[in-house]
Structure 1
Amino acid sequence: MKIQKWSSRKLFKAGTARDGWWTSKHMVEQLKEDAIGLFEALHPNCVAVFLFDNSSNHGAFADDALVASRMTLNEKPWPLSEKFQFRDTVYISRSTDMEEVQSFYYEKEIKKRDKKGNLKTKKVRYFKGIRKILEERSLWIGHDLEGKKWKLHCGAPDRVNPICCALHFLENCPDFKNQKSVLEEVIITSGHIFELYPKYHCECNWIEMYWGAAKREARLKCDYSFKSLEENIDSFLDKAGDLAHIRRYFRRSMDFIEAYSRCTDGREVVQEVKKFVEKKYLSHRKVRVPSDLV
């Protein structure tokens, strides 16, 4: 998307001695500063559907998100300088059946003598710990189904057995289980729709076709030097992102999605996909040559 010099495209030089590595924070900045604003300026009163690859970057949580794996089992000093500062949450009380607000921190007075021997009181900010969090909700069990004492983490795959350990038990509480990624939070807060492409199915993701077309343009018109690539990358992306091409990529992805939706068996899917993937040549030993290679 582009309006004069305002573009949603970001040129990022990845590497330790360059711009570093692309993370979810860069993605959030791009959304907030450019992509969402540009869409709303180009398409007022419309709702955008933002589609993302199913990668770890796109599934990352905010620093204040409810993520049990970032928490300790027992209480611990937790100054404001700590990276993760968990937001307050709301849960349904078992005793009243009403919503209650829960904070994860409290202040504790610590008495300590200074160098001169004088006793001084200092307020220290503490994180409650998973045990205390569950106790406040009347949910602390303390042992698994076999009677073994709860550890912080049992080492088993996530959420296979929610009563196996304290961490998995807290993860399965509704407020933690429904925690959204930072990208989803930003997009939903802006009034738009967030979706992730399915894992391991790049054929359903038309962005992959766009990247492939852009790489093809680069191979055809670049002298394979970094300087040449840097100077021409915008034109390569623009050529691959022509509206007619984008529509064709989208239709191809939808063909795969519809084939998967209609069929209930893997063999049926193969036969359905063959209809639009395979090309039939009617003439003998004659293969079509792309026009840009002639």
Structure 2
Amino acid sequence: MQYFLHAYVNGDTWTNAALNTAKFIGHRKYLSRKVRGWSTAFILDREDLPVSKYGGAWTKSRIHDEDLKSELLTHLQSLGKYVTAAAIIDYLGQPDVAKRYRLKKAISLATAERWMSGCGFRWTMAHGGQYVDGHERDDVVTYQQSIFLPAWYALEPRMWRWSVIGGELVEEQAQGADSQSHIVTWFHDESTFYAHDHRKKRWIHGSETPTPQPKGEGSSLMAADFVSADYGWLRSPDRNESVRVLFHAGKGRDGYFSNDEIIRHAEKAMAILERYYQHDDHVFIFDNAPTHVKRADCSVSARNMPKGCKEWGIDVPVWDANGKIVLGPDGRTLMTKACISNGFFNGSPQEFYWPEGHKHAGKFKGMAQILTERGYDVTNLKAQCKQCASGATTCCCWRILFNQPDFINVEMILESTCSARGFQVIYLPKFHCELNFIEQCWGYAKRIYRCYPMSSKDADLEANVIKALDSGLNGAQAAWAAKKYHGHRVLPSAILEELDNAKVN
């Protein structure tokens, strides 16, 4: 426009000036007409200037429209975690949305992907944050403060202690206990090794080419063991007898490491301790896992109890004469009804089933009758609330029974099995696996295991696991790590580094 107006002012005609301007910048008559129109509009209104398509708003993506971006972001967030660029295409394809934003045709997938970036999304791997579980749940905190810590503090005066003096680890006798009766705590745990687990980082020469890798984690082998700060892995003094269990977990293999396997493992450990370590008192420390805290099938429980008198029992497996569970034609465990155990109130047994001679002989009394015998008025109480209020103890029959001492203090099968032979059992608080120092032992053994050649053969897997557990982290090293760990002289993360440099045979 400026060139055209200069030419016109300098004596050229209106039409020739426009034609010469268009020709000068490489265009034809169409542009000369546009120049005359723009100039006429500008002469009539000095604010009326044409907008260039080569810069500014004309080159901005539609995703810079804040209203459109906000609406797309709200829609994508409503779809959950796994959104796709195609969701933008589908959403903008709706007639009302297309009309609102004056979209004449659908956008391409490439444009949708760019718009995903404009909405703040990135195609990448989601990063895991800090692990959060039920650490601060009321029941977990109560167990930790009221049961676990008092039990540990009661044992601590009779445990051996260690301190670091002049950079050396010094073992001290526990105060208030002679050498013949000090307490040894044995930590139990299971860990799984996979056939295809190997080191990911190493020095790679530039000439090395990628090699095909097996798919998946491969076959697995679970190892279960006990370890203590005093003796390391639980073995006989000559190291010929071991309590380590290697288990091929899974359907169609060895099954699963159930409560029965835990009991047998504990019995194996108690046999070695009774034979070789009678001069110590031993305490087993187990994780608070469902397989560890299982109760007897017929133990006292308010779960599913009816409020009134009726024929009622709990489902229990059918066992044959050889002590094995009987399976039905479909391969599932056969179940039968059995009466639950009787309770205790004020130090005396309380029958939960009506005795012989009663008109309801053999029937379950019901929660109402049981609570009435204990002095509660349950006339207007429901059997169980849909959702009991937090902290409530008397809102329904089930909640009252749930808080009765004989319903709370039901001994676990593992506890009763061990206590019958003079061994105490303590359960770690739920979700606090870091309290079990055997995790450090597993970690170090796996570090060594990953350096062995990878193999899909079960025989090689088992041989590598045994070699890693025995040579990579022997009992003495485990004990040394535990002493340092429980002595709080080093951070747990430093144990593996120190073990690398430890000269312990």
TM-score (norm 1): 0.69
Distance 1:214 1:207 in 2: 11
Q: Counterparts of 1:148-227 in structure 2 under 5 Å?
A: 149-156=381-388, 160-227=391-458
Maintained 8 Å contact 1:130/1:166: yes
1:11 equivalent in alignment to 2:246: yes
Distance 2:400 2:288 in 1: 25
**CA shift at 1:107, angstroms?**
5.8
The aligned residue for residue 91 of structure 1 is: 345
Size of the alignment, in residue pairs? 243
DSSP 3-state at the match of 2:429:
coil
CA separation of 1:140/1:59 partners in 2, compared to 1, >3 Å: closer, same or farther?
farther
The aligned residue for residue 96 of structure 1 is: none
Deviations 1:43-97 (A, max 9, x none): 12432110111222222212132222253333332468646642233211xxxxx
Q: Counterparts of 1:131-142 in structure 2 under 5 Å?
A: 131-142=368-379
CA separation of 1:288/1:14 partners in 2, compared to 1, >3 Å: closer, same or farther?
closer
1:242 equivalent in alignment to 2:456: no
1:30 to 247, 265, 271: 265
Task: Report which structure shows greater RCO (CA 8 Å, sep ≥6).
Answer: 1
1:61 to 295, 303, 327: 295
DSSP 3-state at the match of 2:281:
coil
Q: Counterparts of 1:60-79 in structure 2 under 5 Å?
A: 60-69=294-303, 71-78=305-312
Distance 1:27 1:247 in 2: 23
Unaligned runs of 5+ in 1: 93-98, 112-122, 144-148, 259-274, 280-286
CA separation of 1:245/1:140 partners in 2, compared to 1, >3 Å: closer, same or farther?
farther
Maintained 8 Å contact 2:298/2:339: yes
More off after superposition, 12-21 vs 237-246: 237-246
Maintained 8 Å contact 1:65/1:86: yes
Distance 1:219 1:83 in 2: 49
Q: Counterparts of 1:85-124 in structure 2 under 5 Å?
A: 85-92=339-346, 99-106=347-354
**CA shift at 1:240, angstroms?**
4.9
Deviations 1:192-238 (A, max 9, x none): 22112233333321011122122222212242424211233333222
**CA shift at 1:252, angstroms?**
4.2
Q: Percent identity?
A: 28
Distance 2:438 2:493 in 1: 21
DSSP 3-state at the match of 2:307:
coil
Kindly provide the amino acid, as one letter, of the partner of residue 197 in structure 1.
L
The aligned residue for residue 256 of structure 2 is: 21
Maintained 8 Å contact 2:342/2:349: yes
Kindly provide the amino acid, as one letter, of the partner of residue 57 in structure 1.
T
DSSP 3-state at the match of 1:50:
strand
Unaligned runs of 5+ in 2: 1-233, 317-334
Distance 1:177 1:45 in 2: 34
Kindly provide the amino acid, as one letter, of the partner of residue 101 in structure 1.
P
Distance 2:462 2:492 in 1: 34
DSSP 3-state at the match of 1:49:
strand
Kindly provide the amino acid, as one letter, of the partner of residue 56 in structure 1.
P
Q: Which has the larger radius of gyration?
A: 2
